[in-house]
Amino acid sequence: MINNIKDVLINNLINSTVNKAFDSSVKIIKTSKEDNKFNHLNKDASYLLYIHIPFCDNLCPFCTFHKYKYDHKKSIKYFKNLRKEIRVLKSYNTKIDSIYIGGGSPLINEVEIIKTIKLLKELFDVDDISCETDPNHIELETVKKLKGLVKRLSIGVQSFDNEILKKLSRYDRFGNDKELIRKIKNITRILPITNVDLIFNLPNQTEASLRKDLEIAKNLEVEQITTYPLMSSTLNSKFINRFQANQNKEKFYYLICDILKDYHMNNMWSFSKECVEILNDEYVSNHNEYIGLGSGGFSYLEGNLFVNSYDLDNYEKLLNKRKDTIIAKSTFNKKEVIQYYFLCTLFSGSFNIKKYYETFNIDLEKYLKKELFLIKKLDFVYEKEDVLYLTKKGQYVLTVIMANFYSKMDKVRAIFKSGQIV
């Protein structure tokens, strides 16, 4: 009973701390004509490039990402504009070492996405390209066409439980468990890395259901399994409020870690069969700065969060008029930048204090004295040879913190979805 009370208090403290830090740090304002995200690029740096494809066949009720119902003509026009924006980025002689293509459903227009990836490889000579997809677009011939273009394909399965798939409005659109298994089995080993995305702590999800999901994913012998918690925000509140909240998040998280203990933990919710440097869905954990292209894309450069236009017509208008599609930004002070870097890096499992000082000439103890004291006192981390490592409890805590962080980012998305800033 005492332990349960302690856990509740700790979780409340985490939620309160993240919420206060986010609300005090993230102040979204409209950008001026003089603002340009490309002016914040460092010619000596190499970046991760995020590409957003905002189209879906199925608008899942739990999903909070920026998306539109698929329209073929609009998608052709969008991809054409996107390739124009990619060429603008190249004109700044920017170095790109990794590319992540998310959505939406990036493979929804096969011809256009392949044309776009070929342009990316031609301009930036990048091997590490990761692309998301839903199960509707992983037919054998499609995936074969991605060979040599995409290194990692991430399939948003979410669950293999038919009853849960129905609740998520995915059963009729993407097929039952047997159909999903058949599709994935058919395309494994064509590309270097196949990732299966699963959600835990779903409404009415049981331990047996989660265990079955994980065992199926393991038996499919995909190279990577990502298991992230269901995240709630104002953008999916109608869906969330239809069900009784699942109170098993921590129990489920430890179950996941136990079942996947023979896998390498890339970060707190991504697991790989091999311990290699590969892309995963939470690229912020190993990329300090990144560039976002496409409608609704985010860029984080020199302590600034830049937001691209959500409206497709305005996105095209800005691109043609000023060669940059940003409409808003939030600027962070030095301590907030350090806090963000610390959080994202620690999410990968460790933080090298000595390396951080050598790279940035910043004394972590000076800026994060209270934070370091607290996480050590609560036994979330331990220090060994100037490296902080997460404890078992700390791994779960970082999972909760990152989930809360992403949920708070939905507050930013909500501003643009409502049309408050266009």
Summarised one tens digit per residue, pLDDT across range 174-199 is 999 999 999 999 999 999 999 999 99
User: Could you tell me how many residues make up the chain?
Assistant: 422
Locate tokens 């129905």: which residue?
166
Element at 193 (helix H, strand E): strand 193-200
CA distance 175 to 233: 27
How much of the chain, in percent, has pLDDT values that exceed 90?
A: 69
pLDDT of residue 25: 77
CA distance 157 to 174: 9
- 159: CB partners within 8 A, 6+ apart: 165, 168, 198, 199, 202, 205, 209, 213
Residues lower than pLDDT 50 in the chain: 1-3
pLDDT of residue 10: 62
pLDDT of residue 86: 98
List of E strands, 28-151: 29-30, 46-53, 55-56, 68-69, 95-103, 128-133
- Name the pTM for this structure: 0.92
Cα–Cα distances in Å, from 56 out to 67, 68, 168?
7, 6, 15
For residue 167, count other CB atoms closer than 10 A to its CB.
19
pLDDT of residue 9: 61
Query: Domains plus CATH for the chain?
Result: 1-30+334-422 (1.10.10.920), 31-285 (3.80.30.20)
Chain-centre distance of CA 38, in angstroms? 22
Identify the CA nearest to 82 among candidates 42, 47, 123, 41.
123
List of E strands, 134-261: 152-158, 193-200, 224-229
29 beta partners: 329
Q: Which amino acid is at 326?
A: I
CA distance 238 to 257: 30
pLDDT of residue 200: 94
pLDDT of residue 141: 96
DSSP 39: G
305 beta partners: 300, 330
293 beta partners: 51
pLDDT of residue 419: 62
DSSP class per residue in 88-114:
HHHTTT-EEEEEEEEES-GGGSHHHHH
Identify the CA nearest to 173 among candidates 126, 121, 215, 136.
136
CA distance 320 to 330: 24
Cβ 371 vs Cβ 339: under 8 Å: yes
In degrees rounded to 5, what are phi and psi of residue 66?
A: -70, 120
CA distance 212 to 209: 5
pLDDT of residue 274: 81
Query: Is the bond preceding 292 in cis, omega lying within 30 degrees of 0?
Result: no
Chain-centre distance of CA 342, in angstroms? 17
Sign of the C-alpha dihedral computed for residues 319, 312, 287 and 142 taken in this order = negative
User: Which tokens belong to 399?
Assistant: 């999972």
CA distance 281 to 403: 13
- 57: CB partners within 8 A, 6+ apart: 70, 105, 108, 134, 136, 173
Cβ 113 vs Cβ 79: under 8 Å: yes
**Buried b / exposed e along 53-82 (16+ C-beta atoms within 10 A):** bbbbebebebbbbbbbebeeebbeebbebb
